[in-house]
Amino acid sequence: MGLTVGLLYNLGKYDPPEEGEPPDIHAELDSEKTVLAIADALRWGGHEVIFIEADQNAYTTLRHSKIDVAFNVAEGLRGESRESHVPAVLELLGIPYTGSNVLSLAMSLDKPMAKRVFAYHRIPTAKFEVIELDQEPSRGNLRFPLFVKPAREGSSIGVSTSSVVTNARQLREQVGLIHRYYRQAALVEEFLDGREFTVGLMGNHDHHFFPITEINYDACPTGRAPVYDYEFKRDWDADHYYMMPAPLTEGERDRLCQLALAAFKAMQCADVGRVDIRLDRNGMPHVIEINPLPGLAPGFSDLPRMADAEGMSYNQLINGILDAALERNGILAPAMAQAAATA
Ligand SMILES: Nc1ncnc2c1ncn2[C@@H]1O[C@H](COP(=O)(O)OP(=O)(O)OP(=O)(O)O)[C@@H](O)[C@H]1O
Ligand SMILES: [Mg+2]
């Protein structure tokens, strides 16, 4: 017998966009299909699964549940630190969980804060300004073209080809849109116009790097700004829109992996993560952002596709994440504990 694993998630369908909200506002929440696939994978690993919707009742449910460990994919329902709500409750109750902790999740969701941490660690990241809700757009010392996005979102929410702005009028419009639609500060960055990669990693020492993915902008219609946005992910999921593994020399590959690992460590992430990296016009890689709760939609999200590209099944990926968390917490799955005791 394996462990009893509490699977914590937020289902998208429970929270449709409210009136006046943009259609992608809940794009980060998981589908029922993904949650069931994760549960199946955990059962494949020999574990029992208890489903726990991470809503306002989660604390009471968790208090009375007898789970050994939580598998956390909950993106949170509301608030600036929503991704860290579940880990905070789990910590309060003394329940170990997969993935990054309260601080890492809160910092990485706040992109300007993550960029300040990167800068402290001398990890290259695009120059930026933050335009708060009550502030007038200004480009400060930044040079056009610029990229404008919400300061605290993921899953491409608030990102589109119009996020690239080349003059003061467009900048004003885009910042206004972020303020109005997403009711939060706008992050204005210098636009990195080179190749784009995403680097997935798993584990807490001797990290496992998945095959690096390159976004193949050459496959997109000519004239379309090179932005990996919601439209791209939704409409262009065929294989030729991605290069997996990316065509890189061994040296380039190592450089991107080391950069991703540096970002992972700087943010004190655990077990799993995905780091988005883009080259500037001089070919110098910069970290765009880190995703400590990477999407796990089978056959769709970047990480499961990367795992698949190297022959790692979805079941192995999910159990790899769980095993990293168990090892980090000094927990042996019962089968392993029995083997250790009789050795
Ligand atoms: N400074 C930048 N320069 C160039 N492109 C950028 C920049 N910032 C963001 N992008 C583009 O926008 C995309 C989405 O940005 P980002 O990764 O910050 O958003 P996200 O919504 O958190 O993404 P995810 O879907 O990975 O959670 C990037 O993959 C990249 O194509
Ligand atoms: Mg991203």
CB-ligand 1 contact for 278 (6 Å cutoff): yes
Residue 50: CATH number of its domain? 3.40.50.20
How far, in Å, from the CA of 161 to the mean position of ligand 2? 14
For residue 22, the model assigns a pLDDT of 67
- Give the tens place of pLDDT for each residue, 172-214: 999 999 999 999 999 999 999 999 999 999 999 999 999 999 9
How far, in Å, from the CA of 15 to the mean position of ligand 2? 22
- Give the tens place of pLDDT for each residue, 208-257: 999 999 999 999 888 899 999 988 888 887 888 999 999 999 999 999 99
The DSSP secondary-structure symbol of 80 reads T
Whether residue 21 is found in the same domain as residue 73 = yes
**Residue 138 domain boundaries:** 127-190
How far, in Å, from the CA of 154 to the mean position of ligand 2? 7
For residue 289, the model assigns a pLDDT of 97
Query: What is the pTM assigned to this prediction?
Result: 0.93
CB-ligand 1 contact for 288 (6 Å cutoff): yes
CB-ligand 1 contact for 285 (6 Å cutoff): no
For residue 14, the model assigns a pLDDT of 43
Dihedral angle sign, alpha carbons of residues 324, 257, 107, 42: negative
CA–CA separation, 34 and 30 (whole Å): 6
Q: What confidence tier does 269 reach under pLDDT thresholds 50, 70, 90?
A: very high
CB-ligand 1 contact for 159 (6 Å cutoff): yes
pLDDT cut 90: percent of the chain above it: 82
Give me 45's structure tokens. 């690993």
23: burial class by Cβ within 10 Å (0-12, 13-18, 19+)?
Answer: exposed
* Domain end among 141, 159, 190: 190
In a domain, 304, yes or no: no
Tell me which of 318 and 12 has the higher pLDDT.
318
In a domain, 24, yes or no: yes
- Give the tens place of pLDDT for each residue, 61-77: 999 999 999 999 999 99
Ligand 1: nearest atom to the Cα of 163: 12
Q: Atom 9, ligand 1: which residue's CA is nearest? A: 288
